[in-house]
Amino acid sequence: MLDLSVRITGYRLSDKNASLDHYNPFRLIGQLASDTTNLVILLEPGDALPFGRNRSGPDPRNLPLGGIESQPAK
Angstrom distance (rounded) from CA 21 to CA 62: 11
Lowest mean pLDDT among 6-10, 47-51, 57-61: 57-61
Indicate whether 74 belongs to any domain.
Answer: no
Residue 38 covered by a domain? yes
Give residue 25's region: left, alpha or beta (phi > 0; psi -120 to 50).
alpha
CB-neighbour burial class of residue 21 (10 A; exposed 0-12, middle 13-18, buried 19+): buried
pLDDT at residue 6, rounded to an integer: 83
Highest-confidence segment of 49-53, 58-62, 65-69: 65-69
Mean pLDDT value of segment 34-45? 90
pLDDT value of residue 74: 52
Model confidence at 54: pLDDT above 80:
no
Domain of 34 in residue numbering reads as 1-69
Question: Does residue 6 lie in a domain region?
Answer: yes
- The domain total for the chain is 1
Is residue 18 domain-resident? yes
Q: Decide: 4 and 21 in contact? Cβ < 8 Å.
A: no
Interatomic CA distance for residues 72 and 74, integer angstroms: 6
What is this structure's pTM?
A: 0.78
